[in-house]
Chains A and B, each alone.
Chain A
Amino acid sequence: METVKTGLTKRNIWKLLDIPIIAAGFFIILPLLGINRTTDFIIFCVFVLGFNILYGFMGRLSFGHMLYLGTGAYTITLFSEHVSQNPLLAILASLVAGALIGVILGPIIVRTTGACFALINLAFCQVGYFLVLVAFSRYTGGEDGMSAYFSKLSFLNFGNRYIVFGFVLFCLLLTYYLLKKFTSSPFGVLIRSIKENETRVKFLGYNTFTYKWVTFIISTTVSAFAGALSILNYGYATPSFIDPSRAVEVIFAALIGGSGSLYGSIIGGVVYMAISNYLASYVPRWEMFLGFALLVVVFRFRTGVWGFFMGLLNRKRKALAR
């Protein structure tokens, strides 16, 4: 019998401890991978979170999410070049840009579903890539990219690797916390219902368009946030931040982790980054390996690594209860 749990039961404690656990996890892998790689991993996890809010929770697979990452990356770079070198203001600007692109493209994109949704995102990403690479190459530096410089803010000196690491980790935890609040709110329940059956949600009298649009804007904003953080880390923006052919990375990460789970997104991000960072140096034909791994995930582990372990755990728990 499932009873309503109040106060600090055993399970609630685990749920409250998730943020310290994530933080501890990254501090554990920090000495193993070195500071640069760990920072990379964390930023990628932010991106996976932004992608998964759309894919895992609302059931819309976007094949062009690099566009929103690139929007953040180029906004922060251009902002630091032309307006102000204050890093926090620049990040704020790229968040606004990310939200804005969601507001503008949202009404066109969220009306579609399935393959059409994936491809129209891809098409817009292709347009964005072209704009950055060719049309506005005078401002973005084209293929060569451009560097970004940020001024010191009392203790926030982004020249120091450890400060960057701490700041980025803080950003990940903040994003995680906000998205957790978002997905467990009635709004979050509603977008999950849209994933299950949109017609029924409409039938209940909800205007699903607005909910989908808002979720889309949240997703683009978080993705732009990840883009801004990567520039903070690298200090250099190149068209690879908006390259449509890299879209599969984040999809794969979300799949490994298991869509529809925030924990899973972070695990998937870390696992994917580990694969792509280390596999390429050990396995010569790593693209082929990635292909077979994807096929195995699609045909065998639909719920991803995290979902697979949760399933095992639940089965054990049920067996024990019996």
Chain B
Amino acid sequence: MIQTIAYGLTIGGILYIISIGLSLTFGTMRIVNFAHGFVYTIGAYLLISALPFVRDNFFLGAVIAVAAVIPISYVIERFVIRKLYGVSIDYAIIATYAVVLIGVDLTKWIWGASPIPLSDPIGHDISLFSVTLPMYRVLIILLALVIFGALTVFFKKTIVGKIVTASLEDKDAVKSLGINVDKYFSIVFVIGSCLAALGGVLYAPITSVHPYMGMMVLLISFAVVLVGGLGNIKGTFVSAFVLGLVMAITGRYYGPAAETMVFVVMGIVLIFKPVEV
């Protein structure tokens, strides 16, 4: 049982890393960004391409993959997302979905459609409280905590973070202070995309890498964001770990239902707490 909980926390950690970017774009720009799932996928693929160049050093490969996502996400922001500010939310959904279609086809073109397996980069096990866990999963949980701490500091202490937090509350008031909100949004967008790519990189060794891997994860992260509250940084953190645990515990008793259970929880939460979008 403890092992199941630990696995759930791993999934929760990855979900948090992926969802935070989604939550921020959702909260600040009111845009449902399907392209987030594509960025996640491309992160994992870039890792695979980068590994041979750095002699299979996972850490360096991850850094390269995340860095390479910066220009990609900037292009998406500049040419698609920026044109969607203030437009009806339906068009935003469709346009970002179109980006996913293009991206998935591009990945299939470059890397092929068949899944690529990746082995655990660390391989050691660690014994904690009489259960053995792969070291890699423990590191993921720690990394998620570090990122949560870093983001909290970022939003509380830095000027960019403060502006974004303020715009989450009241965009027009921040604008009236003469601040170019959109510029800061694009910074947040790129940060969120990098974190999504990092999520893809971290999740790649646990499952296999394939062009459609982003879609399911994206749906689950949407559930995380809706349960946690749009643009709510702390809420996203809590809901990511709770839903991760839900997935792991369901998966233990009835494997195929793991992902469906997340949506059941989301449905129940939405019944009692409708989200105003």
Which positions in A face B, CB cutoff 8 Å? 55, 59, 61, 63, 108, 111-116, 118-120, 122-124, 126-127, 130, 133-135, 245, 248, 251-252, 255, 285, 287-288, 290-292, 294-295, 298-299, 302
Contact = CB atoms under 8 A, between A and B. Distances in A.
Contact of B257 (A112, A135, A298, A299): A135
A295 B34 CA distance: 13
Contacts of A122: 219
Contact of B264 (A127, A255, A295): A127
Contacts of B89: 61, 114-115
B226 A295 contact: no
Name the residue among B89, B97, B101, B256 with the largest chain A CB count within 10 angstroms: B101
B78 to A, nearest CB: 14
A17 B52 CA distance: 67
A115 B277 CA distance: 7
17 contacts: A63-B93, A112-B275, A114-B89, A115-B32, A115-B93, A116-B277, A118-B32, A123-B219, A135-B256, A245-B215, A287-B101, A288-B106, A290-B101, A291-B102, A294-B97, A295-B80, A299-B95
Interface string B105-118: 11011000000000
B18 to A, nearest CB: 16
B105 A126 contact: no
A119 B98 contact: no
A126 B267 CA distance: 12
B86 interface: no
Contacts of B32: 115, 118-119
Interface residues of B, number: 41
Given A118-B32, A119-B222, A288-B105, A298 B94 contact: yes
Which residue, A122, A130, A290, A295, has most C-beta atoms of chain B within 10 A?
A295
Given A124-B267, A127-B264, A288-B101, A255 B215 contact: no
A79 B99 CA distance: 41
B91 A298 contact: yes
A123 B223 contact: yes
B83 interface: yes
B28 to A, nearest CB: 14
B199 to A, nearest CB: 19
Which of A255, A285, A290, A291 counts the most B-chain CB atoms under 10 A from its CB?
Answer: A291
Contacts of A135: 256-257
Contacts of B95: 294-295, 298-299
B263 A127 contact: yes
Given A108-B267, A298-B94, 16 more contacts: A112-B277, A115-B32, A123-B263, A127-B263, A130-B256, A130-B259, A134-B256, A135-B256, A248-B97, A248-B101, A255-B94, A288-B105, A290-B101, A291-B101, A291-B105, A298-B95
A298 B89 CA distance: 12
A292 B93 contact: no
Interface in B253-277: 256-257, 259-260, 263-264, 266-267, 270-271, 274-275, 277
